[in-house]
Amino acid sequence: MMEIVFALAVGILTASGVWLLLRPRTFQVIIGLSLLSYAVNLFIFGMGRLRVGAPPVLENPEAVDPALYADPLPQALVLTAIVISFATTALFLVVLLASRGLTGTDHVDGRDDPR
List residues near other proteins by CB under 8 A.
21, 26, 29, 33, 36-37, 40, 43-44, 47-49, 73-74, 77, 80-81, 84-85, 87-89, 91-92, 95-96, 98-99, 102-103, 108-110
Distances (CA, A) of 114 to 25, 107, 109, 111: 15, 12, 12, 8
In the complex, minimum distance from the CB of residue 102 to other proteins, in angstroms, rounded to a whole number: 5
| Contacts with 35 (C-beta within 8 Å, 6 or more apart), sequence order | 13, 14, 16, 17, 20
Closer by beta carbon to other proteins, 67 or else 102: 102
In the complex, minimum distance from the CB of residue 59 to other proteins, in angstroms, rounded to a whole number: 19
Residue count (the chain) = 115
In the complex, minimum distance from the CB of residue 20 to other proteins, in angstroms, rounded to a whole number: 12
Enter the DSSP assignment of 107: B
Closer by beta carbon to other proteins, 9 or else 33: 33
Determine how many CB atoms are found less than 10 A away from the CB of residue 17.
20
